[in-house]
Amino acid sequence: MKRCLANLCLVVLLTIGSSAFAGIDDFEDTGPNFTIITSRVIEGITITFSNASGLPFLSVAYFDEGSHSFAGAGDEINAPLDPSQVSGNRFISTADNINTDMPIVFEFSSPLGAFGLTTLDVLEDVETSADAEVRLQGFNGNTLVAEHVISGVQGGSGLDLDWVITSHAGFTRAVLVRTAGTISAGYGIDDMMAVSLAVPTESSTFSRVKALYR
């Protein structure tokens, strides 16, 4: 599990309150290359994926030329800029162009108080304009209740960015979308985080929280 996202997840958990609990999906059990991924379950919450291009999300691997999703560090295939900042070996991608995939939509089977993910190679220093802007937005019905905005070039090829949105009112849908400028095509998604709103208090004891981040 990526340490910085896990720590942020714990902060979010404590901020939302003791009646919430969190989980992180590292996608390590998604099967061999090109397994189609339509949804994932985190702590009992089903998260369903879709995108504007209609292409399926696939299970792919870091440093694997056979599952080319982005040209990363050193121009190597699927190479994260800092491998210590991603978990395990697998991530998901359509292995296509993020500009045509956006908006990427995540729908939740019950309301979340927080949602997060890590993107790979998004807002890198190749083919990304100075005015580029990407947002992770959370919606309660059709009402925007939370968003995380990152603008401009953020680092070299293969960089990882953590995205987190929170809302005490909760949201049932999140959207990752480019709202300005241009960005490079290849990308990946890893370490998806979900914090549920309405769960029994006994499910969020301190020992349980600690166990999540070992």
In a domain, 45, yes or no: yes
Q: Poorest-confidence range of 16-20, 45-49, 169-173? A: 16-20
Contact present, 184 and 159 (Cβ < 8 Å): no
In a domain, 211, yes or no: no
Kindly give, in sequence order, each residue whose CB lies less than 8 Å from that of residue 211, ignoring residues fewer than 6 positions away: none
Contact present, 145 and 169 (Cβ < 8 Å): yes
Distance of CA 100 to the CA centre of its chain: 18
With CA atoms as reference, report the closest residue to 191 among 119, 124, 127, 140.
119
Domain count for the chain: 1
In a domain, 205, yes or no: no
Q: What is the rounded distance in angstroms from the CA atom of residue 180 to the CA atom of residue 173? A: 21
Which amino acid, residue 181?
G
In a domain, 204, yes or no: no
Q: Is the C-alpha dihedral spanning 61, 67, 71, 77 positive or negative?
A: positive
CA distance to 28, 30, 123, 154, per residue, from 133 (Å): 29, 30, 8, 11
- Domain extent at residue 180: 3-197
Contact present, 21 and 198 (Cβ < 8 Å): no
In a domain, 206, yes or no: no
For residue 139, the domain's CATH number is: 2.60.120
In a domain, 207, yes or no: no
Q: Poorest-confidence range of 32-41, 175-184, 196-205? A: 196-205
pLDDT at residue 143 greater than cutoff 90: yes
In this predicted structure, what is the pLDDT of residue 8? 53
In a domain, 203, yes or no: no
pTM assigned to the model? 0.85
Distance of CA 209 to the CA centre of its chain: 21
Tokens of 142: 């059709």
Contact present, 179 and 103 (Cβ < 8 Å): no
In a domain, 55, yes or no: yes
Pairing of strands 143-151, 104-120: unpaired
Tokens of 127: 């083919």
Can you tell me the mean pLDDT for 56-76? 96
